[in-house]
Amino acid sequence: MHQQLPNLEKYNLGKPNLEKLSLPQLVAQMFVVRASGYLFDHQIQYPAWEPSREQLRALVADLGVGGVIFLGGSAAELSLRIQELQSWAEIPLLTAADIEEGVGQRFSGATWFPPPMALGAIDQIDSALAGNYAYQMGAITAQEAQAIGLNWLLAPVVDVNNNPDNPVINVRAFGEDVATVTRLTQAFIRGCQNSPVLTTAKHFPGHGDTAVDSHLELPVLSHSPERLESLELVPFRGAIEAGVDSIMSAHLLIPSWDAQYPATLSPGILTGKLRQELGFEGLIVTDALIMGGIANTYGAKEAPVLAVEAGADILLMPVDPAGAIAALVAAVETGRISLERIHQSVERIWQAKQKIFSVVTPKSVTPKPEVNLALYLAQPQSLAIAEEIIRKSLVVHGNLSRSCDKNHKTSPQNNLAFRNLLYTDEAIDCDFLSRQAPAITIPKSLNYQLQIIDNYSGYIPDLEGTSQDLTATLRQTLLQLFIRGNPFRGSAGATNTAQKLVKILLQLEELQALVIYGSPYVYQQFRELLPEALPSIFTYAQTPLAQAVALETLFSS
């Protein structure tokens, strides 16, 4: 089923009449801008990046940008948001989102899968089962995306995460093994191909072996050409073989290939390696140009020009969209970039849009007010797949019979003796915690008293003084830690704070059980601190569903 949008005959998508478009209109098609998924301006969460409704209308209707990338809101309201934007656009828009863990990762109400690395863990035990899960995850994600109007999945991540200290890829990757990553990448992409949406392999040529977050500064990948060829490039070759529609560049400096420019701005990497050597004919899209790895050095106007010179077709999230369009137009008018080069990218964009928009069926899933999205999103079979992945990748250690003193379940006089201590690096606007989150409600039903700590709470645990006062009246603690690699802030600070908590509770003999949601690398660090018999559970996901599975496992023994 394909989406029905205006002006298809006028522009004859797939066979563009480029003479109908002015140079600024052609250039604008190469830009994808950021927008809030919420309906109203007062709901905007990131005002530095997300334009107001009127500003967005000017970008779409007046400048004619080629697409929009969304973050935030519910799936239902995003569908209305996309309808409005498409109605403003003279040429149908690419509508994108970073939905590596399903549509529900970014937009509430849809299916939220565990991170891809959970599939990698399953692959180590049963590769056929993991491949099936990856395929179904791709198929469900694509179907739900199309149902709400998204037509471009900025997924999957095909980086090989072979650096445990990676602050930005981490569990977003399918794993640490190149064969596993390649196999699951291909399965995910093929699952997506059941729906007319675009897929994206990222971050070329491989962001897995870095310890620097390119959202903040420019990482350097100091490997030899031989190593890059035998490891980093392998999953991208697999993605191309599977028919991936687009490939996203990484903001990385790779001296053995280009000592001057990062991959996003390197002709030798984007054109030489990706386009010519690997033979990729689809869309090359930059990672967000607002990221520090590029913006800090090259600025708002020069970076887009350099990216196009390097071979990029689509410029994602420019710092200043209008200024960037003007800069690229000027580069063509002065002869720095040829008009033919712009035509090449626009033709590729047209081909991609042809896949999305060319066929219209009588029953389009393009959302309309009368369509019940409940028939498309978070269906029981989709949630069942997510739960199966969580259960199959769950790690359990220690003596679970120690995790629950049966007496305190029914003895109100023991209420103060049991504490549910939750730690997350940021409790503000936390997608996975609410009053009804299982991490809160299940222990509450067992008479645990809730305490939440994050980096904003003002309490940094210490082995002396306040720690003794804090725990003086509480004898047993269930400690739940929500820690994974987070773009812009990593996880090192959260891990250090959480380690102090564990050491305090162990010293006071008050740690009853430990549950970690997120990074397996963090879990391994904590396992080394724990007595062998102390119950511990690890799950890759932080979702409410993962919380329910982990705690039911803990307390069912």
Task: Flag the least confident range among 154-158, 178-182, 336-340, 449-453.
Answer: 449-453
Residue 382 domain-assigned? Answer: no
DSSP H or E stretch at residue 95: strand 94-97
**Cα angle, residue 294 at apex, residues 293 and 299 outer, rounded to 5°:** 140
Same domain, residue pair 178 and 317: yes
Q: Residue 384 domain-assigned?
A: no
| Residue 515 within a domain | yes
**Contacts of 456 by beta carbon, 8 Å cutoff, 6+ apart:** 426, 427, 428
Flag whether 385 is in a domain: no
93 and 49 in a single domain? The answer is: yes
Q: What is the band of 402 on the pLDDT scale with cuts at 50, 70, 90?
A: low
Q: Which residues are CB-contacts of 366 (< 8 A; sequence separation ≥ 6)?
A: 3, 4, 5, 83, 149
Mean pLDDT (whole number) for 368-395: 89
Does the pLDDT at position 231 exceed 70?
yes
Last residue of a domain, one of 375, 409, 435: 375
* pLDDT range class, residue 361, cuts 50, 70, 90: very low
| DSSP line for 414-467 | GGGGEEEEEEES--TT-TT--TT-HHHHHHHHTTPEEEEE-TTSS----SSTHH
Burial class (CB in 10 A: 0-12, 13-18, 19+), 128: exposed
Q: Quick one: 139 and 277 in the same domain?
A: yes
Total domains, the chain: 2
The tokens for 114 are 């565990």
11-22 pLDDT, tens digit each: 455 556 667 889
Q: Could you read off the pLDDT of 432-452 as tens digits, one per residue?
A: 999 999 999 999 999 999 999
Pick the range with the lowest mean pLDDT from 177-181, 193-197, 356-360. 356-360
The arithmetic mean of pLDDT across residues 398-422, rounded, is 65
**pLDDT category of residue 468 using cuts at 50, 70 and 90:** very low
Q: How many CB atoms lie within 10 A of CB 13?
A: 22
In-domain check, residue 381? no
pLDDT of 208 reads 82
Residues 335 and 444 in one domain: no
Six token digits for residue 100: 């590596």
Residues 272, 249: Cα–Cα separation, whole Å: 13
Q: What is the pTM of this model?
A: 0.91
CB 487 within 8 Å of CB 213: yes
**Lowest mean pLDDT, pick from 37-51, 148-162, 477-491:** 477-491
Closest CA relative to residue 310, chosen from 272, 278, 276, 342: 272
Q: For 73, left (φ over 0), alpha (ψ -120 to 50), or beta? A: left
Strand partners, 76: none
Structural domain range at position 178: 8-15+22-375
In a domain, 159, yes or no: yes
Q: Are residues 439 and 298 in the same domain?
A: no
Do residues 362 and 454 both lie within one domain?
no
Domain CATH code at residue 276:
3.20.20.300
Whether residue 307 is found in the same domain as residue 399: no
Is 306 a member of any domain? Answer: yes
From the list 316, 122, 351, 347, the residue with the least C-alpha distance to 202 is 316
Q: How many CA atoms lie within 13 A of 311 on its CB side?
A: 25
- Average pLDDT of the chain? 88
- Pair 270, 409 in one domain: no
Whether 84 and 216 share a structural domain: yes
In a domain, 169, yes or no: yes
User: What are the catalytic residues?
Assistant: 215, 287
Cα–Cα dist 331/137, whole Å: 42
CATH of the domain at 502: 3.40.50.10870
Could you read off the pLDDT of 172-187 as tens digits, one per residue?
999 999 999 999 999 9
Instruction: Judge if 344 and 493 occupy the same domain.
Output: no
Least confident of 137-141, 214-218, 221-225: 214-218
User: Do residues 148 and 75 lie in contact, with contact meaning Cβ atoms separated by under 8 Å?
Assistant: yes
218 and 79 housed in the same domain: yes
Mean pLDDT of 140-154: 97
Same domain for 176 and 133: yes
pLDDT above 70 for 2: no
Is residue 141 packed enough to be buried (19+ CB in 10 Å), middle (13-18) or exposed (0-12)?
A: buried
> End of a domain among 375, 406, 430?
375
Report the percent of the chain where pLDDT is more than 90: 73
**More confident of the two residues 212 and 498:** 498
Rg (CA), the chain: 24
* Helical residues (DSSP H) of 283-395, grouped into ranges: 292-310, 321-333, 339-357, 380-393
pLDDT band at 404 (very low <50, low <70, confident <90, very high): low
**Beta partners for residue 515, in sequence order:** 480, 537
| Domain finish residue from 340, 375, 410 | 375
Find out whether 228 and 257 touch, Cβ atoms under 8 Å.
yes
Structure tokens at 11: 């522009």
